[in-house]
Amino acid sequence: MKKDKKVSCEESNCSPEDFRKAAEKGEAKAYFNMGVCYQFGKGTRKNSKKAVECYRKAAELGLPDAMLNFGICCCIGEGVERDLKEGEKWLRKADELGCEDAKDALKQLEEAANPTEKEPASSKCKRGKKEIFEVVRDILVEQLGVEPEQVTLKASLTDDLGADSIDLAELVMLFESEVFQTGLPDEEVERLTTVGEIVDYIHRKL
């Protein structure tokens, strides 16, 4: 998914406390911004569980962006127990309210549940690291909106390619459906920070 979604608060030096009073008054955007602060460590330590809880409250108050983030967290098990059914429910609600990124996420879920009969990416990857890199590069170019020449083995997903935690979560979903055809352990995925590390990991596992 290209980086056109709203996943950060407008204030560059914000913290959860900046939005707490408004959240206590039931303002959905305030809860959403608190979630962003906890998710990205803005003005506080990163806390995925608190982030998810804030997204949930904002989603229940009807904010589409919060429905998107909460749905994705449920689908990948970030800050909450993995629950594809619950995640899909919130993604569909966000889609119904016109959230284009939710539509993309639902498409990825459908593709993961119903793989096509074409040659899977995993069979291509068995040919060697060069082919693995090409598969990974194509996914990163499409999802992050970067140029192919930016995707090198030494490129950092966050520092060089600009991926945020939501992008990383969606990339995990794509790698699960298009490369591995199965789930990936969260503790292993969190250690992969560069394109080269991803390529090496896939080469070892396939």
pLDDT digits (tens, 9 = 90+) for 84-129: 899 999 999 999 999 988 988 898 888 776 655 444 444 443 457 7
- Of 2-11, 17-26, 190-199, give the lowest mean pLDDT range: 2-11
Let me know whether 108 and 22 are in one domain. Answer: yes
Let me know whether 87 and 144 are in one domain. Answer: no
7 lies in some domain:
no
Let me know whether 72 and 99 are in one domain. Answer: yes
Looking at the structure of the chain, the number of domains it has is 2
Q: Which residue out of 18, 83, 160, 164 is catalytically annotated?
A: 164
Let me know whether 152 and 98 are in one domain. Answer: no
Q: What is the DSSP letter of 120?
A: P
Global pTM reads: 0.57
- Return the residue matching tokens 């899977």: 120
117-158: pLDDT as tens digits: 444 444 443 457 788 888 888 888 888 888 999 999 999 988
Let me know whether 67 and 97 are in one domain. Answer: yes
Q: How far is CA 129 from CA 74, 168, 198, in A?
A: 32, 21, 10
Give residue 58's domain range. 17-113
91 lies in some domain:
yes
d(CA 111, CA 132): 20
At 153, which CATH number?
A: 1.10.1200.10
C-alpha torsion sign, points 121, 122, 124, 125: positive
Let me know whether 130 and 150 are in one domain. Answer: yes
At 21, which CATH number?
A: 1.25.40.10
Let me know whether 131 and 79 are in one domain. Answer: no
Let me know whether 150 and 105 are in one domain. Answer: no
Beta bridge partners, 194, equal: 156
5 lies in some domain:
no
Which of 113, 143, 172 is at the close of a domain?
A: 113
Let me know whether 85 and 130 are in one domain. Answer: no
Task: Check if 164 is active-site.
Answer: yes
- Out of 1-5, 126-130, 143-147, 199-203, the most confident range is 143-147
